Amino acid sequence: DAKTTQPNSMESNEEEPVHLPCNHSTISGTDYIHWYRQLPSQGPEYVIHGLTSNVNNRMASLAIAEDRKSSTLILHRATLRDAAVYYCILKTGANNLFFGTGTRLTVIP
């Protein structure tokens, strides 16, 4: 399975934007980039996914580099509820989600 690299942890002030980076230099043409997050004591939660173009939804935006070797999850205004571990995952077709270690986001009030 293609590998992703994320920082172990990041901090953000409440109500400020957060940019969570992910490197995936071995991504293949058929890999989609998925982001999930896991809040404390909960199961993982889907955030967003994309292939080549930038994507927006009610939770976040996903910016994908032109060469697709990296991507950035953008939370436009961090809230305390956004404190979680964020996972960047490459997924091909019906293959499963293989979770790495993710980035632990701390939101400072």
User: Which residues are near other proteins by CB under 8 A?
Assistant: 32, 34, 38, 42-46, 49, 87, 91, 93-102
Nearer to other proteins, 80 or 97 (CB): 97
Nearer to other proteins, 65 or 97 (CB): 97
Q: How far is the CB of 22 from other proteins (least distance, A)?
A: 16
Instruction: Please give the C-alpha separations between residue 30 and each of 24, 90, 100, in angstroms, as whole numbers.
Output: 13, 9, 19
| Tokens found for residue 96 | 């499963």
Nearer to other proteins, 78 or 102 (CB): 102
Instruction: Please give the C-alpha separations between residue 59 and each of 45, 63, 95, 98, in angstroms, as whole numbers.
Output: 11, 14, 24, 22
